[in-house]
Structure 1
């Protein structure tokens, strides 16, 4: 198991380096001059001052040199300072947003896992019956709905028309902190975030369980007189969960993309909202720092998924 974890960790580290290189290059290839983000439009600078600033920031160096300088500082925990927030270090700024994003994504994915697996089992057991058809239609609608459309429609119906939930933020402005207040603000965006993932998990769980139910050992268990409930739960569901576990791990990256839209729509103070604002203001250090932290989170979740997969199916440790 330790060797398995070591191999997966090494792969994750290489992916993280590749991600940082890709983001660094894309930012440098974006239209405009990076130095423009450091200039106050109301106070134009002379050409000589611009060259001094470019030299101080290292922007006059070749791209590989710039990247290595940034990487060396990042490995020491120095992600630089925000351009738009004078004197504010990037790393603390990003880390204080990790909690709200983790709360939103964790709640949304937990809802999606519970609903998706339960609906998938129910749909497989009731194959081709009316409940199965109805759940399949709902699942296809959920999978086909873009995150931004789901967020806007949910905000309009449940917050504006019905007034069942707050329209934005993590807690009521001016009110003292309370768990109930945070929960009230969390429910709607978390449920909206879970829709597409629950639908996808449901379809995978249904297909996987139907395949397992046709296996010989399931028929043998039924022939021995095992109750159908225990045949489904004990014998079939565990093996059917294997591809679903992999799917759940891979949806974390997709969930981050959905969370970015949701945090923007609901003004949720997480990394998604921070990243959107940084892109809008061309705050390059914040973009690099937030992207790297998000990449680390995704890689750690994928590593955890591989470990859980290996625990559930020990054959994985031998074959990989």
Structure 2
């Protein structure tokens, strides 16, 4: 098991390194000169001043030298300073947004896992009956609905028309912090984020459970007189969860994309809103730092998923 964890950890570190190279190259090769983001258009600068600024920022160096300098600083925790927020370091700014994003994504994925697995079990047990047909139709609608459309429709119906939930933010302005207030603002975006993931988990769970229910050991358990509830929950569901665990780990990256749209629509103060604002203002240090932190978190979650899969299915450790 330790050898398996070591191999997966080494692969994860290589993926983070590759991600840092990709982020740096994409931003450096984007249209426009990076130095334009550091210049106030209303303040004219002479060519000598521009060249001095380029030298101070290290933009006169070849790309490999620039990348190695940025990577060396990043490994020491120095991601630079925000261009649009004068004097604000990138790392504390990014880490301050991690908590709201984790809260939103964690709540949304928890709802998706519980609802998806429960609906998948019901759909498989009641195969071709009206619960199965109804849940299948709803799952297809959830899978085919884009995150931005779901967010906008949910905001319009539940916040504007019905007024069941706040329309944005993490807490009510001008009021002291309270857990109930945060939960009131959290429930709508978390539920909207969970729709697509719950639909996918349900489809995988249904398909996997139907395959397991046709195995010999399930028929043997039934022949021994084991109650149907325990046949489903104890003998079939555990083995049916193996592909679902893999799916849950792979949906983390998709959830990040959905969270970006949701945080923008609901003005949720997380990583997604920070990235959108940084892209709009061409705040390169914030974009690079936030993207690297998000990517590293996704890779770390996938590493934990692989380890969890190895605990559930020992055959994975020797593969």
Give TM-score scaled by structure 1 length: 0.99
Residue of structure 1 in register with 2:56 after alignment: 56
Residue of structure 2 in register with 1:163 after alignment: 163
Residue 28 of structure 2 corresponds to residue 17 of structure 1 = no
Residue 93 of structure 2 corresponds to residue 69 of structure 1 = no
Q: How far apart, in 1, do the equivalents of 2:173 and 2:146 lie?
A: 30
Q: How far apart, in 2, do the equivalents of 1:11 and 1:20 lie?
A: 14
Q: How far apart, in 2, do the equivalents of 1:167 and 1:257 lie?
A: 20
Please list the CA deviations of residues 37-74 of structure 1 after superposition, one character each: whole Å capped at 9, or x if unmatched.
00011112111110100010011111111000000000
Q: How far apart, in 2, do the equivalents of 1:91 and 1:272 lie?
A: 15
Q: How far apart, in 2, do the equivalents of 1:129 and 1:23 lie?
A: 49
Please list the CA deviations of residues 112-164 of structure 1 after superposition, one character each: whole Å capped at 9, or x if unmatched.
00000000000000001111011000000000000000000000000000000
Residue of structure 1 in register with 2:267 after alignment: 267
Unaligned runs of 5+ in 1: none
Unaligned runs of 5+ in 2: none
Please list the CA deviations of residues 221-264 of structure 1 after superposition, one character each: whole Å capped at 9, or x if unmatched.
11111111101000000000000000000000000000000000
Residue of structure 1 in register with 2:181 after alignment: 181
Q: How far apart, in 1, do the equivalents of 2:166 and 2:46 lie?
A: 49
Mapping for residues 205-244 of structure 1, pairs under 5 Å: 205-244=205-244
The 3-state SS of whatever aligns with 1:302 is helix
Residue 314 of structure 2 corresponds to residue 314 of structure 1 = yes
Q: How far apart, in 1, do the equivalents of 2:30 and 2:146 lie?
A: 26
Q: How far apart, in 2, do the equivalents of 1:55 and 1:97 lie?
A: 32
Residue of structure 2 in register with 1:284 after alignment: 284
Q: How far apart, in 2, do the equivalents of 1:46 and 1:121 lie?
A: 69
Q: How far apart, in 1, do the equivalents of 2:154 and 2:316 lie?
A: 41
Residue 129 of structure 2 corresponds to residue 129 of structure 1 = yes
Question: Post-superposition shift, 1:2?
Answer: 1.1
Q: How far apart, in 2, do the equivalents of 1:134 and 1:8 lie?
A: 40
Number of aligned residue pairs: give it.
319
- Please report the RMSD computed on the Cα atoms of aligned residues, expressed in angstroms: 0.5
Q: How far apart, in 1, do the equivalents of 2:137 and 2:154 lie?
A: 19
Residue 75 of structure 2 corresponds to residue 36 of structure 1 = no
Q: How far apart, in 2, do the equivalents of 1:29 and 1:84 lie?
A: 21
Question: Post-superposition shift, 1:296?
Answer: 1.3
Question: Post-superposition shift, 1:295?
Answer: 1.0
Q: How far apart, in 2, do the equivalents of 1:166 and 1:57 lie?
A: 43
Which contiguous aligned blocks of 4+ residues in structure 1 show a shift greater than 4 angstroms? none
Mapping for residues 84-95 of structure 1, pairs under 5 Å: 84-95=84-95
Residue of structure 2 in register with 1:140 after alignment: 140
Give TM-score scaled by structure 2 length: 0.99
Residue of structure 1 in register with 2:255 after alignment: 255
Q: How far apart, in 1, do the equivalents of 2:162 and 2:213 lie?
A: 43
